Amino acid sequence: MFYDNLKAICDSQGIKITPLVAECGGAKGSISNWKKGASPNSDIVVNLAVRLNVSTDMLLLGYTRTPGFDLSADEAELLKYYKQLPEKEQIRLVSRAEAIADMYAEAAPEPVHPKISIKHSIYSVSAGTGDMLDTDEWDSIDVPDSTEARKADFCLTIHGNSMEPVYYNGDIVLVKEQQSVEKGQIGIFIIEGCGYIKKFGGDRLISLNEEYDDIMFSEYNPDDIRCSGLVIGRV
């Protein structure tokens, strides 16, 4: 009973019930009604819980449930009524509640994620042995709005698996256009017209997938090698 729980808590803290209830907004006659078994309204329960520094469960149920599962006053009241029902009616009530919850879940609108348009190459960039990329043929695609997307100058679709397990075939990467990257950074490189996404190794391009050999700059004419940009994220 609510009154018994409240009295026990007040006794343990040396607090008198009557002035406490008045302080928390209790109506005249509330204590008498609680003694007779009446249920308090949710507002007074919350106010008392805050004033006494206890959970609403402690006031309504006489104990505190596992952390993370504390009931609100309204939830506790529903549970009280549920426990008063015959088992057959409890089962019927749960089934009805599940049906209503499913109905609202199905009707819930899909969240709207803002998007921005960004330049996108119609050709893919190789995470393998090289794809033709030295072209000015672009379209644009809408990508989720993010800090990285706003910083990117263009994006590219990856073809191949040489950059797994970080970048996968079909991933769209965001690129900030620049003519060089720091050693160890992932960049987009053009070698003899073919585009690569690789880690810059100073004198070579490195694949993250160990099944692929490094691409050595010494094997190419320096005029045929250039950096197109720094990879700063993915869509």
The whole-angstrom distance between residue 231's C-alpha and the CA centroid of its chain comes to 24
Higher pLDDT, 109 or 21: 21
Which pLDDT band, with edges at 50, 70 and 90, does 69 fall under?
Answer: low
Residue 229 has pLDDT above 90, yes or no: yes
Q: Residue 96 has which token pair? A: 């009805």
What is the C-alpha end-to-end distance of the chain, expressed in Å? 57
Q: Phi and psi at residue 189, in whole multiples of 5°?
A: -125, 145
Contacts for 185 with CB less than 8 Å, ≥ 6 apart: 199, 200, 230, 231
- Cα–Cα distance, 118 to 121 (Å, whole number): 10
**Sign of CA pseudo-dihedral 76, 78, 84, 85:** negative
Helices then strands (H, E): number in the chain?
A: 8, 11
pLDDT tens readout for residues 106-124 = 766 767 789 999 998 877 7
Token pair, residue 81, equals: 């009524």
Parallel/antiparallel/unpaired status of strands 131-132 and 194-200: antiparallel
Report which of residues 201 and 137 the model is more confident about. 201
Instruction: Flag whether pLDDT at 152 surpasses 90.
Output: yes
Q: For the chain, give the mean pLDDT.
A: 84
Which residues, 6 or more positions from 153, have their beta carbon under 8 angstroms from its beta carbon? Answer: 119, 175, 176, 177, 229
Supply 104's token pair.
Answer: 């609202």
Q: How far apart are CA 54 and CA 76, in angstroms?
A: 15
| pLDDT band per the 50, 70, 90 thresholds, residue 86 | confident
Q: Fill in the amino acid letter for 85.
A: L
Residue 65 has pLDDT above 60, yes or no: no
**Mean pLDDT across 56-72:** 66
In order of their start, the domains of the chain are 2-107 (1.10.260), 115-234 (2.10.109.10)
